[in-house]
Structures are given as structure tokens and as C-alpha cells.
A = this chain, B = another copy of it.
Amino acid sequence: MPAPKKPAAESSGTPARGSRSRIQQRNRQIILDAALEVFSTHGFRGATLDQIAAQAGLSKPNLLYYFDSKDAIHRDLLTQLLDTWLDPLRMLDPEGDPQAEIMAYMRRKLEMARDFPRESRLFANEILQGAPRIESFICNDLRHLVDEKAQLITEWTQAGRIAPVDPYHLIFSIWALTQHYADFAAQIRMIRGAQHDPLDGAEPFLAQLYTRLLSP
């Protein structure tokens, strides 16, 4: 007897994109989008499959037809997120103008806070809990990239091309300042009033801040 055809577990390896029907592609995406909404505001344990199903407009058993478990949905979201999380920092170009490069990095992160606030909150939730699911990513990929770029920044400071700053704290400051606008958007909205976009005025302020910090 052939086991009931589940639409591919694919927990590892290549997605085998072509092997999925249009319906699968569409519904998996709908589910991931709904799950991102729910996980990012309620955290993993705070989210329920019923909430996600309601948000997706599907039945709960139907979610579990497309994903093996609640955990699998969450893992998929995190994997997808981490896949692009490093890109802005990776683009920091050793050949470019130091100050312009760092400003551009800050702007890319700020764009991510504006365009992907739910992803930022998903990440924040994960770190707040001690990063149990993404520890190896942070200790390996992220750490090595940060070490590499910190080295680059140190060279820039030693060459006198930017003011002497601690490169690690510089990077952390960019993370803190940009992600704050996504992670703490609720607070900012309540303080500035709902009519403002939380990010109004953020770019000029951060440009001013880093210009003054980095000018030799």
C-alpha cells in the first residue's frame, strides 16, 4: 500500500521547486505568510495553529497537509529569514568609501525594518528567548561575517579614513537603531500618534548621527 502522498517533507536539501503543483506553491506561501504574521506578534508558543489557519483562510488539518508540524512551519520561516538576514552586512564593500559604505549599510537595514518588520520581530522573539533555534547560525555564519567586517572597519579607522570607533559596538548600534523601528513600532506609534509612520524622520536622524560619529 502506498503511503498517503504528503507534498514532500523537504526539511533539508534543495526545495525541488518544480515538483510542487501551483496549488502547493500558492498554499505553502499563504500559510507561511499567515504564520509570519502570527509568530512575529505572539512568539512560537504564543501562536496557535488555529490562529494561523484562520489568518490563512484554511482549515487546521489543511495546514498540516502542507507542513509536518507547527515547528516545521516555524523552522521554514526562520530558514527563509536567515537566508537573507546577512545580505546587507555582506554588501559592505572594502573597496568603497568607508563613511559612505557604513551609511549605506545603515540605510539597507533601515529599509529592512520598513519593508520586513514582521521578519525583524520574528528574529527579535528568537533572540529574546536565548536564540535556541538559531544558535549555530549566530555562532558560525553571523559571527564570522561580523568578525570579518569588524576587521575591515578597524583597518578603515587605522587608515584614518573614519574616526576611531569600536567596530563591534558600531555594528551593534546599527542593528539596535534600525531594528528598534520594527520591533518597538507599537510603542513608537503610541507615543507619536497613529497618524505618523514610526519611521518618519528616522533616516535623516540616523544619517546625522552616523555622519557626526564617523567623520575623522
Contacts and interface: CB of A to CB of B under 8 A. Distances in A.
Interface string A195-214: 00000011011101100110
A25 interface: no
Given A124-B183, A205-B166, A213-B208, A190 B46 contact: no
A105 B87 CA distance: 34
Given A44-B46, A213-B212, A143 B190 contact: yes
A204 B41 CA distance: 34
A72 interface: no
A186 interface: yes
Nearest to A120: B128
Interface string A119-130: 001001101111
Interface string A35-56: 0000001111110000000000
A121 B131 CA distance: 13
A131 B187 contact: yes
A86 interface: no
Question: Taking the full assembly, how many copies of this chain does it contain?
Answer: 2
Nearest to A170: B205
**Chain A interface size, under 10 / 10 to 19 / 20 to 34 / 35 or more:** 35 or more
Interface in A168-201: 168-170, 172-173, 175-177, 179-181, 183-184, 186-188, 190-192, 201
B188 A177 contact: no
Interface of A: 41-46, 121, 124-125, 127-131, 135, 138-139, 142-143, 146, 163, 165-166, 168-170, 172-173, 175-177, 179-181, 183-184, 186-188, 190-192, 201-202, 204-206, 208-209, 212-213, 215
Kindly list the 4 A-B residue pairs having the minimum CB-CB distance in the complex, ordered from nearest: A176-B180, A45-B46, A169-B205, A138-B190
Given A46-B46, A142-B190, 15 more contacts: A41-B129, A42-B45, A42-B129, A43-B43, A43-B45, A45-B46, A124-B124, A143-B191, A165-B208, A169-B201, A169-B202, A173-B209, A176-B180, A180-B180, A213-B213
